[in-house]
Amino acid sequence: MSVSYRKGRRLEYGVKELLESQGWFVVRAAGSKPVDLVCIRQGQTVLIECKYNKSPTKQELERLAEISKISGARVLLAVRQKYGRLRIYDPFTGETFFPYLPPDK
């Protein structure tokens, strides 16, 4: 098991635990196909792709846009930046996602 795989998996589980602590039902998609986490709370579905210390490629962003279009769900990126900072955000608007806020109605 490579170091980058372990870091990525640890990030996925950390984001999963964070969202679960805020009342989300979270399923981790093994093998990162097509996204890492499927998160559901109060009728809202959010799909999250996790990245450890790197930005998504153009092809990854296109794939996420297509998944969002097909599913009707919001697609987000969770990025663990240098020095341990975690940011969950919409890769298309740049808007930060706060998992503890109530869903938009």
Residues annotated as catalytic are 32
How many other C-beta atoms are found inside a 10 Å radius of the C-beta of residue 47?
19
Virtual torsion, Cα 68, 39, 52, 82, nearest 10 deg: 110
